[in-house]
Structure 1
Amino acid sequence: MKTYMKSLGVMLALCSASPLMAQQKDIKLPPEATEFWEPVPRKVDPGKQNHEAPSDAIVIFDGKNLDSFVSNRDGAPAAWKVENNAMTVNPKSGDIKTKEAFGDMQLHIEWASPTVIKGEGQGRGNSGVLIMGMYEVQVLDSYESRTYSNGQAASIYKQYPPLVNATKAPGEWNTYDIFFTAPRFNKDGMLISPAKVTVIHNGILVQNAVELKGPTEYIGIPNYKAHDEELPFVLQDHGDLVSFRNIWVRRL
């Protein structure tokens, strides 16, 4: 019995000391033990100027034409105006969407609200970037115009207000860098993981990996419904002369 108790005591002592022993063992590891050399990150040439598309980007709009877009209404050629390396909403012509579909992505887009100021709140320089055609990052002249916080510029419309208001004055160019993770659904259409969005507005983080509650809804509570893994993104015609330029995408 004494021998058994002695052995049991030694075992308990070893168990209680095991975290310390593990730490001491880790300290003795050479630096190389926590290094790996494969895979090698592929080389990408960044743009030569601020916001210029990197070498692995898909250029959606470079100021020349609307060949990458069609009408979201009927698939006809996009009818917005192209001038001075920018496209401008043609009111009542309808939303436009990309010909190409995207899932997880980094989207860079620049926009400017009209210099002629009309209206207030949601009636002032209103448009939107609808990722996958349904998850909206709001475009609005929020420079000196009050509206509901989850509907101002850089909000995830009707879900999350931006952390700060970084909107520039009418006519000045704003930049959005949007990092989007698409939602995942199982084979039965059940949601596995929600969509996530990070938005940098004019170099300032305004949406920090927020989890979307579902597609954008103007009225009511958003709810997910299963959809394709990749879908076009949409630019909104809300009747205001909002302009866009320098649009590119990197698949993630």
Structure 2
Amino acid sequence: MKGIVLGVGLSLASSAVMAQGQQGDPKATEQWSPAVPVVAPGAFAGWTAPADAVVLFDGKGLDRWASVKTGGAAGWTVADGAVTVKKGTGNIQTKQSFGSYQLHLEYRIPANITGEGQARGNSGLFLASTGPGDDGYEFQIMDSYNNPTYVNGQLGAIYKQTPPLANPARRPGEWQTIDITWEAPRFGADGAVTRPAFVTGYVNGVLVQDHTEVRGGTVYIGKPSYKPHGKAPIKLQDHGDPSQPISFRNIWVRELPERG
């Protein structure tokens, strides 16, 4: 979820998804049924980077990342081979821009997580960060282990668009994997979409999105739509939950040729 954290009361989150001037009911785009089946994942199997990959985070530093808020150095905390969201620093994104790609990352929800619904371990992987005021296209990261919420907002969803095919979430405190194939959208000279974006995604080795068509950029209120863009950074979200800092490690990407 981006913008408003639903839990005990309502509080304004730090996401840029809820831009000034948006009006309407965010619940209008929440889908609650049918329920997503729970699938127990197999043993942890994180992949080390292949020879042709761009290593975005190797556990040592954030040289390949920048702060979205300031454009300067990424302000998240690096320790013990992981990078952890730091309160108040905002989202971070890659300095390099990408078209279509294969991406791997590992994440961990704090073992002592509290809250419920969207206010529980919420973060996001933005597959293409398309500019100020537009977060791009979000693959949802949150704690969906015994934590009901609207199905197009749970772990593995294309946020507020397509629910995942399964819920393979591990317990909080355990490392988990996300593997993505992103086919970037294409636009004509007039800015019209000539081919939409597609996402194939696995969480903990379980297929959750199967060449899913993306209907446009992620929005918290209203319907998604496309705005023309070229190659774009990959972004990780600081959702504004200071007591629930999510950690990441082993992030790498392989650029893919564009399909005809």
Quickly name the TM-score band, shorter chain normalised: 0.7 to 0.9
Q: Is the alpha carbon distance of 1:50 and 1:148 closer, same or farther for their aligned partners in structure 2, counting shifts above 3 Å?
A: closer
Letter in 2 for 1:147: T
The aligned residue for residue 184 of structure 2 is 182
Query: Which protein is richer in helix relative to its size?
Result: 1
Tell me the CA shift for residue 76 of structure 1: 1.2
The aligned residue for residue 163 of structure 2 is 161
Paired with 2:158 and 2:180, the residues of 1 have a C-alpha distance of 11
Q: Is the alpha carbon distance of 1:117 and 1:50 closer, same or farther for their aligned partners in structure 2, counting shifts above 3 Å?
A: closer
Query: Is 1:123 matched with 2:119?
Result: yes
Structure 2 residue corresponding to 1:108, chosen from 82, 86, 104: 104
Deviations along 1:199-226, one digit per CA (max 9) or x if unpaired, are: 0111111100000000011110001111
Query: TM-score under structure 2 normalisation?
Result: 0.77
Structure 2 residue corresponding to 1:57, chosen from 45, 53, 56: 53
Query: TM-score under structure 1 normalisation?
Result: 0.79
Structure 2 residue corresponding to 1:194, chosen from 188, 192, 196: 196
Paired with 2:88 and 2:150, the residues of 1 have a C-alpha distance of 25
**Aligned with 1:150: secondary structure?**
helix
The runs of at least 4 aligned residues of structure 1 exceeding 6 Å deviation read none
Contact 2:46 2:106 in 1 (8 A): no
Paired residue total: 203
Tell me the CA shift for residue 50 of structure 1: 4.5
Deviations along 1:54-74, one digit per CA (max 9) or x if unpaired, are: 000000000001111110112
The aligned residue for residue 95 of structure 2 is 99
Larger Rg belongs to? 1
The aligned residue for residue 251 of structure 2 is 247
The aligned residue for residue 10 of structure 2 is none
Deviations along 1:173-193, one digit per CA (max 9) or x if unpaired, are: 110100000000011111101
Query: Is 1:74 matched with 2:70?
Result: yes
**Structure 1 runs not aligned, ≥5 long:** 1-48
Deviations along 1:216-241, one digit per CA (max 9) or x if unpaired, are: 1111000111112x100110001230
Contact 2:46 2:177 in 1 (8 A): no
Q: Kindly, what percent of the aligned residue pairs are identical?
A: 52
Contact 2:145 2:170 in 1 (8 A): yes
- Higher-RCO chain (CA-CA 8 Å, sequence separation at least 6): 2
**Aligned with 1:164: secondary structure?**
coil
Paired with 2:236 and 2:138, the residues of 1 have a C-alpha distance of 9
**Structure 2 runs not aligned, ≥5 long:** 1-44, 130-135
